[in-house]
Amino acid sequence: MDLLTVIFLAIALAMDAFAVSVCKGLALRRCDLRSMLVVGIWFGGFQAFMPIIGFYLGSSFYDSISSYDHWIAFGLLLIIGLNMIREALSGTEDEVDADLGPKIMLVLALATSIDALAVGITFSMDGAEIFSSAAIIGLVTLALSMAGVKIGSMVGDRFKGKAEVLGGIILILVGTKILLEHLGLL
């Protein structure tokens, strides 16, 4: 997987974390560097770690599915992307408060990084270099999460849904690219 694709994938994966970070920024009384770092490190750390887990899970059964791995990668990214778009357009809002404690942040970090686990599985099928890809995903999520807290404290949640829709579209496009490459159409 080329660097530009990994960067776009990282941005797409970070959109859920960005949206929750915007909500955290809305809930905080004051936005300071410590709060931004706490949110960024939790979300960035999990977004970096989950693809590695997915990669090794995918690698363990890759031989038995290698003839149709591109369809699995496409299907997973399509489902994740469509789900992100559906959630963004559903109009239902998850309640997020200002608590940055470990219990709350652990749950939020896990919830926003499940899609990264599935992407890690697709990395094992695509032959991507997992550690550099995971580092890029983690750093992009860290930066976007920190920015999300700041933006949330300044402008509110006007952009949250748009960010999730964009993330879903990017995931679908990356899945389509993987499929078309394996079919020899790109």
pLDDT of 94 reads 57
Q: Which of 72, 171, 55 is nearest to 123 (CA)?
A: 55
Write down the H helix ranges in 28-159: 33-60, 62-65, 69-89, 102-126, 130-155
What are 16-51's pLDDT values in tens digits? 899 888 878 878 867 899 999 999 999 999 999 999
Domain extent, residue 17, equals: 3-182
Parts of the chain with a pLDDT under 50: none
State the Rg of the chain over Cα.
16
Structure tokens at 136: 């890029």
Expressed in angstroms, the distance from the first to the final Cα of the chain is 13
Number of domains, the chain: 1
